[in-house]
Amino acid sequence: MEIIKKLISEALIARKSAYTPYSKFKVGAALLTSTEKIYSGFNIECAAYSMCNCAERTAIFRAVFDNHRKFTHIAIVGGPENQENLTDFCPPCGACRQVLREFCDPKELKIILAKNTEEYKIFTLDELLLFSFGPQYL
């Protein structure tokens, strides 16, 4: 339970620095590696809109760059920039679900969607990305 709250707190901190001049929708994510290290990330937008990078993938790529290949939890928070107290859960986009799939056991990875450290829902990746394509098919 403590780790869940810690991940949510780290995601909320990361969200504050999101670079979102276009959508003004700020997302933060915090990932836990199988070695119990935390990597956070935020969304980074670009004037060429299709180059925007989601918070989840920022966190994943930071961790992978540091040689981590297996994740057990990710917390995600998001909402309009003028909202400090989030009113909605922010589910991960399809692309981020697929990238997460690469680095976890889908039945084990816990995806924590939070408004704050008290209000959250937990799904496994398997619930959010059913019958997924993964490394075992290649």
Give the active site residues: 56
> Total number of residues binding ligand THU (CB under 6 A)?
13
Full DSSP string of 70-118: -EEEEEEEEEETT-SS--S--PPPHHHHHHHHHTS-TTT-EEEEESSSS
Binds ligand THU (CB under 6 A): choice among 9, 20, 33, 40: 20
- DSSP assignment string, 39-56: EEEE-B--SSGGG-B-HH
The secondary structure element, H or E, covering residue 13 is: helix 2-16
The one segment of 48-56, 80-88, 108-116, 124-132 that binds ligand THU by CB under 6 A: 48-56
Report the site for ligand THU in 78-137 (rule: CB under 6 A).
92-93, 96
Residue 52 binding ligand THU, by CB under 6 A: yes
The Cβ of residue 126 has, within 10 Å, a number of other Cβ atoms equal to 16
Residue 56 makes contact with ligand THU by CB under 6 A? yes
21 or 138: CB nearest ligand THU: 21
- Which residues lie near ligand THU (CB under 6 A)? 20, 23, 25, 27, 43, 45, 52, 54-56, 92-93, 96
